[in-house]
Amino acid sequence: MGHSKIVGAIEIGTSKIAIIIGEISSGSTLNIIGHYSVQSNGVKKGIIQDLQVTGQIVHNAILQAENVAGTKIEEVYLAQTGQHLSGVFNVGTTNVGASNGVITKADVEKAKEDARRPQLPEGRSFLNHIQNPFSVDGVKVENPIHMHGKRLQVGYWTIHADNKTLQDSLRVIMGIPLVVEDVIVSSIASGNVLLQESEKKAGALVIDIGGGTSDFALYKDGYVVYTGVIPVGGDHISNDLSMGLRTNVQLADSLKLREGLAIHAKQNLEENTWLVGNQSIGDRKIPLTSVNKIVESRIKELFELILEELEEVKLYKPSEIGTGVILTGGTSRMEGIEAIASKIFDLKCTKGESTWEIDENLNIPEYSTTLGLLSYALGVFEEKQNKNTNNFLGNLFRNFFPKDLKLP
């Protein structure tokens, strides 16, 4: 009987906590055996504000998911978001050691080590190192070993995190107690399950619109070249609607998903929608244009902030993003949201769907990050089984999550 492992993929978001449990077995098989999601509390803009409240909700959610799965989680893969995350692109360089100029594995390791050498300010920890292409004497190559050259370089997109914020996320899980095997940035997890390798190769911009924040990852030539977090999410739209239409946030949230940008899809400027009232304010008929004006203003702001950041770092070139924009996260359910994104980015825009054949209850935007975490866990399992470093993200992603990070 082959070895198997029970893995929990957990996302602690501003608006929801999502958990998927998978059984990973020899032969590269992954069976999803349980899942559960619940409204979050104690989290603001992706950062835990109340450890006790959030910890209790997460603990209960894990118990519910385990009950569905009929087994206990052995290890956890945890998503991470929030503006405490920062990224930097580092290039490692080494001169080829052999006199005949043949590049060896030792040269490759030296270049990688040089790329990861920069020190972080106090209070920060490396989270993810994402490998980019090698270059030999200035020419990009996938695998430089046995090639001839004088100078070897390799790039890494390196993501680092605030220690306290990271510690708080870990404390919620480890206090249960469960082993946190790895922490992955949300946008990368989502991209891994929403994009085929060919789509990454063509270039893609994945935008995960959460409740309090929106994460994005830019792929070029198959590699993650940039990630970011914008402090605007679906909750901001709901709050805007609540204030503008004088209703509670729950009704505003429902209206957002049902009619938020529907005017772009229906092209009917005269259409109305009903807003259910309460004891003080009865049901009201509201023009779709009123809803659209509020929602469009905020959603435009979100996309424009992402565009401005990518333009600022000189990475936004539509000709290099052939796949276009892929939207995910709960707010991406809004009808007509693709039209706004397409106009802002001047790119084709689609709503993301998992590349896996899975139950329709899981193939929804709210679960894309946790599905991506399971995909990563499967890759790690395969690597350990096969002793092969050329799997998962095509050797693009190597995580350096600090397992020795102390929890005071």
Query: Which CATH number characterizes residue 235's domain?
Result: 3.30.420.40
**Residue 146: per-residue pLDDT:** 94
Same domain, 238 and 323: yes
Residue range of the domain that includes 149: 86-159
* Domain stop point among 159, 179, 208: 159
What is this structure's pTM?
Answer: 0.88
Q: Is the domain of 204 the same as that of 106?
A: no
Instruction: Report strand pairing: 324-328 vs 75-80.
Output: unpaired
Low pLDDT (below 70) residues in the chain: 1-2, 27, 260-284, 387-408
Distance, in Å, from the CA atom of 309 to the CA atom of 33, rounded to the nearest integer, reads 39
Same domain, 201 and 153: no
Could you tell me the CATH number of the domain that includes residue 127?
3.30.1490.110
pLDDT tens digit string along 97-150? 999 999 999 999 999 999 988 888 899 999 988 999 999 999 999 899 999 999
- Asked if 114 and 93 count as a contact pair (C-beta separation under 8 A), the reply is yes
Q: Work out whether strand 47-48 and strand 75-80 pair parallel, antiparallel, or are unpaired.
A: unpaired
Report how far apart, in Å, the C-alpha atoms of 134 and of each of 99, 157, 201, 218, 253 are. 20, 13, 16, 19, 46
With respect to residue 113, please indicate whether it lies within any of the assigned structural domains. Answer: yes
